[in-house]
């Protein structure tokens, strides 16, 4: 399709959502207006904006189907078709994003307007996700989670306990303040545990190490814990 058709899809979803879930209609409407205000700085920003929009459209479509289920049972049956990690996203985090208050949304808006889409560590996140899959874990990657919930990746392992993960390179100087800000963000979204991973790009084996820590903690990290690993 042509990129401008994305806007038509967004409009169509806003229209549908206005009767099914007005809060979602509001979010999508805001996104539409903010996209208008993004300053297209570098060429690489465009693919990221599109990736974000495709994701929002896909997730909103799923959400509206769920919300228009004829009964609670039908809704429940849909969640049962999902993997645990998908259930965590569509049943817990995505609705939180839809219904978030504006003060939380504001940070996200600023990032969007500033065109902070060039996720420099996208390939590293992807390498981690690939390794997770190879070891029969599962993952979920969402730009919404990245932009507003300080979460690069959600992973789960044998116990099917999704865990939100933030990945940062050592060069970014992880100070206590940064870790604290990450933790506060997770708490504000009522994400009950999380893993803050820092890596050294010079270490050839770092992806393997990060995945070990992520998979293990997905199974065993207790609720209320926000673990920093470096």
Partner 1 sequence: MDFDVQDLYSSLHTYLLITAFMAHNRETHTCNNVNFAEALATARQMQQNWLTYGIDFVNFYVEDVNGDWLETWGNDEILGNSRLDAIKEFLVSDDNVAVKVREYLGERSLFDFAVSLEAYWKSPEIDDRLAAVKNLLATGENNVHKDDISLVNLANSLLVKLADIL
Nearer residue to partner 1 within complex by CB, 59 or 179: 59
DSSP code for 93:
I
Phi and psi at residue 49, to the nearest 5°: -65, -40
Q: How far apart are CA 213 and CA 36, in angstroms?
A: 40
Q: Is 149 in the site for partner 1 (CB under 8 A)?
A: no
Distance CA 151, CA 145 (A): 5
The stretch among 3-11, 144-152, 208-216, 218-226 that binds partner 1 (CB under 8 A) is 3-11
Q: CA–CA separation, 198 vs 55, rounded Å?
A: 27
The per-residue DSSP string of 56-81 comes to HHHHHHHHHHHHT-SSHHHHHHHHHT
Are 40 and 61 within 8 A, CB to CB?
no
Question: Phi and psi of 225, rounded to 5°?
Answer: -100, 135
**Closer by beta carbon to partner 1, 23 or else 212:** 23
Binding partner 1 (rule: CB under 8 A), the pick from 100, 140, 150, 220 is 140
Binding flag, residue 66, partner 1 (CB under 8 A) = yes
Beta carbon nearer to partner 1, 133 or 181: 133
Q: Candidates 50-58, 163-171, 175-183, 194-202 — which segment interacts with partner 1 by CB under 8 A?
A: 50-58
207 is a site residue for partner 1 (CB under 8 A): no
CA distance from start to end of the chain? 43
Tell me, residue by residue from 95 to 124, as one string, x for binding to partner 1 by CB under 8 A and - for no binding.
Answer: ---------------------------xx-
74: contact with partner 1 by CB under 8 A: yes
CA–CA separation, 6 and 28 (whole Å): 12
The C-alpha atoms of residue 195 and residue 217 are separated, in whole angstroms, by: 8
Closest approach of Cβ 54 to partner 1, in Å? Answer: 6
Residues at the site binding partner 1, with contacts judged by CB under 8 A: 1-4, 6-7, 9, 11-16, 18-20, 22-23, 25-26, 29-30, 32-33, 35-36, 38, 40, 43, 45-51, 54-55, 57-59, 61-62, 64-66, 68-70, 74, 77-78, 81-82, 86, 122-123, 126, 129-130, 133, 140-141
């Amino acid at each position: 399709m042509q990129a401008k058709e994305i806007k038509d899809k967004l409009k169509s979803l806003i229209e549908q959502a206005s009767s099914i879930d007005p809060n979602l209609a509001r979010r999508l409407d805001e996104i539409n207006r903010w996209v208008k205000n993004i300053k297209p700085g570098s060429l690489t920003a465009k693919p990221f904006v599109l990736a974000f929009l495709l994701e929002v459209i896909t997730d909103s479509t799923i959400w509206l189907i769920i919300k228009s289920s004829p009964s609670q049972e039908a809704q429940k049956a849909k969640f049962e078709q999902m993997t645990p990690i998908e259930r965590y996203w569509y049943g817990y985090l995505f609705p939180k994003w839809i219904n978030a208050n504006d003060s939380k949304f504001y940070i996200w808006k600023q990032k969007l307007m500033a065109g902070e889409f060039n996720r420099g560590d996208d390939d590293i996140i992807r390498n981690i996700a690939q390794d997770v899959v190879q070891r029969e874990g599962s993952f979920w990657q969402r730009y919404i989670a990245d932009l507003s919930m300080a979460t690069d990746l959600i992973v789960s392992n044998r116990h099917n306990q999704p865990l939100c993960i933030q990945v940062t390179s050592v060069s970014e100087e992880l100070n206590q303040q940064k870790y604290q800000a990450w933790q506060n963000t997770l708490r504000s979204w009522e994400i009950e545990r999380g893993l803050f991973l820092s890596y050294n790009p010079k270490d050839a084996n770092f992806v393997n190490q990060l995945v070990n820590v992520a998979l293990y903690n997905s199974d065993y990290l207790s609720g209320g814990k926000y673990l920093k690993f470096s």
